[in-house]
Amino acid sequence: MVFSDQHSLVNISEESVAVLGTVGAFGFVFFLFLSGVKMDLSLTLKSGKKAICIGLLTVVVPLVSCMTTIKLLHEEGNEFSNKSFFLAVTYSGTSFPVIHCLLSDLKILNSELGRLGLSAALIGDMLTLFLTVFSLWVKTGFEKGRKEALIDFGLAMLFIVIVVFVLRPAMKWMVKRTPEAGQIKDTCFYLVILAFMMSPRFTDLFRIYFLYGPFIFGLAVPDGPPLGSALVEKLDPVISGLFLPIFATTCGLRFDLSYFKNSNLFAYHQVLGAMVALIIKFGVSLLVPILCKMPTRDSLALAFIMISKGIVEMGSYSIMNDNRVISEDIFAHMTIVIILVASIVPILVKRLYDPSRKYLCFQKRTIMNSRLNQELRLIVCVHVPGNVNSIINQLNASCPTRESSIALDVLHLIKLSGQATPLFIAHDKQKKTLSSKSYSENVVVAFEQFERDNWGAVSVTVFTAVSPPNLMYEDICNLAMDRLTSFILLPFHRRWYIDGSIESEDQTVRTLNFDILERAPCSVGILVEGRRNLKGSGIRDPLSSDNSSFYNIAVIFLGGQDDREALALAKRISQDKSVRLTVIHLKAANSLGVILTENDRMLDSAVLNDVKQSVCFTYIEEHVNDGPETSNFLQSIVEDYQLIIVGRRYKTEDPQTLGLQEWCEFQEIGIIGDLLSSADFIRNYSLLIVQQQQQRTV
């Protein structure tokens, strides 16, 4: 193969392409293995009726339509013996890895549409796998006789029995020998890799198409940590970043436009059958969701998702071309179809489906708009065990009562690792025992104990979300929409020891907090933990103190909607007599630089008057000229409080904070929040930053 122009001459020999093709094919087989590792077949039993119908019908109906079309166009010959049935299955099939990659790239993997698409793809992929193997058995029966087909069937069943009842138990035994939250031993890891390397040879012995051996073996690997996640984390970057691009390149090098002119009638009939299958698949994928009352735009997006094609189809046709299963002209035509579909589908899905649309909430879901005698619907997010103690401490400090109760939804967020399908689990209180694969046992136990300690005042529901870190905001916002939540409480991404040194820091948590602040359909709070009890393991009663039986709370009030929301939260907490509230009103000494509108000033005065009438509190008014004066004043008083509540006041700089903006390290907690969490403050208090629900327009 020669590429030349006037200035250069580059020779790429057939031998070079063959070597690259071998390396790329190795990567493709590895990709199929890892795809099997990521898939959880148990989810097929948990799929809803809608997903099952879409998954089955989007394979069966296009297959029947394709076969009918090819039979009408190509009447001579048997549709089974001349490979038409096998090829029709490849045209009509669904590829779970391709759809998973598409949804992941579009960042809608754990959206409502993404979950439905993944479930339907999983069903369709399993059916496609069965039909493909079945078509090969039928083809063998026509060409070599029924006896040979039965032998192939028996050997395939024997291979599956060995994988399910020998290899999978062996890998489960490896997992059981791994300490909890530990890493799989290197010996076990390399044994699994060795078994994978041998699987193509074994599939040849068992007369199974060699691509299916690694995939089936991957399905047998226990998904998730420690084994499945170790395989994916160590191998996926190399396979996806190096070997698959090489494989895609070699597939492109095999593509030759000259075969379009020299195509025979059989190839044209096959291409027409493939186009019919694609169109019918789109129609079925569109019609079924519409009949299930799904919005038209979402149904269209799902239809495009279900017809998507990618590296799996390209690799399959390329390998079939190398093995002379299909001719060069069929390969050329199908390559064009795959490239066009893979190019157009992501653009159309992105235009049709925007999951953030549903977060446009026109109803006010704030603490200010919830009455004191009304149940407060609250979501708290947990990332690590240390978050549990700090959150329960603050909830205890709020002193919930039967008259001012809390409906608490606890969401335990876990990184998706070694799996392809995100999970959202609602933990059933009625179950006496937790499953052997419990993601949140300690979280469930701790919050159920908190519910018993506050019986009648708090109702707790625990959820677990296993999803990619960059998409966790979807789970939080969806839960907030479904549960009519008024307030989301998030842990800060950094935690300190008592001496001020950093105990832990997680930038993915910080990114998640930014995403929630931007998209949340209700008010949001970020809890920055105090330093004095981070090394303790027990749950401390925040009201217990050597010096005082009171829990002292301060609100730093400058004005604006976030500060008003912070004051409303403090008013609700301070209903209990054991809580002492102090409102510190920072006013500008020079009113010329004040940027608050007249409407804001009126609302601020109304909220302050309402608090004065509702609870007994200490009011401190301080006039300051600039940020340094504010900092000095706050340093002199903060040690008197266990909890300080401030508004975020994002992108708002008043005379009271003048000069502090350029020193602000953490924009997500605002200027005052960043100041109070800085090393300049000897901080034994917890800090709660509040952002009122952001009103957005379409």
If you compute the radius of gyration of the chain from its CA atoms, what whole number of angstroms results?
Answer: 31
Distances (CA, A) of 521 to 72, 377, 482, 509: 55, 13, 11, 19
Q: Where are the domains of the chain?
A: 19-352, 368-427+442-522, 550-697
Report whether pLDDT(18) > 80.
Answer: no
Fold of the CATH domain 368-427+442-522: Rossmann fold (3.40.50)
pLDDT per residue as tens digits for the range 124-156: 999 999 998 888 888 777 777 788 888 888 888
What class is the 550-697 domain?
alpha beta
Report whether pLDDT(100) > 70.
Answer: yes
Taking the C-alpha atoms of residue 479 and residue 416, their distance in angstroms, rounded to an integer, is: 18
pLDDT (0 to 100) of residue 279: 95
Query: 356 versus 512: which is more confidently predicted?
Result: 512
CB atoms under 10 Å from CB of 203, counted, come to 22
Report whether pLDDT(15) > 90.
Answer: no
Q: Could you check whether the bond before residue 200 is cis, i.e. omega within 30 degrees of 0?
A: no
Residue 618: CB partners within 8 Å, gap ≥ 6? 580, 581, 582, 583
Report whether pLDDT(2) > 70.
Answer: no
Taking the C-alpha atoms of residue 593 and residue 656, their distance in angstroms, rounded to an integer, is: 9
Q: 3-class DSSP state for residue 94?
A: coil
Structure tokens at 463: 């959820």
Q: 3-class DSSP state for residue 18?
A: helix
First to last CA, the chain: 54
Closest CA to 84 of 96, 68, 95: 68
State pTM to two decimals. Answer: 0.84
Report whether pLDDT(365) > 90.
Answer: no
Report whether pLDDT(535) > 50.
Answer: no
Return the percentage of the chain with pLDDT > 70, whole number: 89
pLDDT (0 to 100) of residue 538: 38
**Secondary structure E strands in 455-560:** 458-467, 487-491, 494-496, 502-505, 523-528, 551-557
Taking the C-alpha atoms of residue 676 and residue 673, their distance in angstroms, rounded to an integer, is: 5
Q: How confident is the model at residue 54 (pLDDT cuts 50, 70, 90)?
A: very high
pLDDT (0 to 100) of residue 394: 85
CB 232 within 8 A of CB 38: yes
CB 53 within 8 A of CB 291: no
Q: Which residue has the tokens 């047998």?
A: 220
Report whether pLDDT(116) > 60.
Answer: yes
pLDDT per residue as tens digits for the range 243-287: 888 888 888 887 777 777 777 787 888 889 899 999 999 999 999
Partners of 382 in beta bridges: 412
Fold of the CATH domain 19-352: Na+/H+ antiporter like fold (1.20.1530)
Query: 186 versus 440: which is more confidently predicted?
Result: 186
Residue 625: CB partners within 8 Å, gap ≥ 6? 588, 589, 590, 655
Amino acid letter at 278? L
- DSSP H or E stretch at residue 254: helix 244-254
- 550-697 and 19-352 share a CATH fold: no
Closest CA to 361 of 518, 481, 490, 516: 481
When pLDDT is averaged across residues 650-669 and rounded to a whole number, the result is 83
pLDDT per residue as tens digits for the range 372-427: 778 889 999 999 888 898 898 888 877 777 777 889 999 999 998 878 888 888 88
pLDDT (0 to 100) of residue 434: 41
Residue 280: CB partners within 8 Å, gap ≥ 6? 61, 62, 65, 66
Q: How confident is the model at residue 102 (pLDDT cuts 50, 70, 90)?
A: very high
Query: How confident is the prediction for the chain on average, in pLDDT?
Result: 83
Taking the C-alpha atoms of residue 50 and residue 211, their distance in angstroms, rounded to an integer, is: 30
Query: 498 versus 162: which is more confidently predicted?
Result: 162
pLDDT (0 to 100) of residue 362: 56
Structure tokens at 186: 């290197």
Q: How confident is the model at residue 488 (pLDDT cuts 50, 70, 90)?
A: very high
Taking the C-alpha atoms of residue 173 and residue 166, their distance in angstroms, rounded to an integer, is: 11
Taking the C-alpha atoms of residue 407 and residue 378, their distance in angstroms, rounded to an integer, is: 6
pLDDT (0 to 100) of residue 404: 78
pLDDT per residue as tens digits for the range 177-229: 887 666 888 888 899 999 888 888 888 788 887 788 888 899 898 887 888 88
Report whether pLDDT(4) > 70.
Answer: no
Q: 3-class DSSP state for residue 487?
A: strand
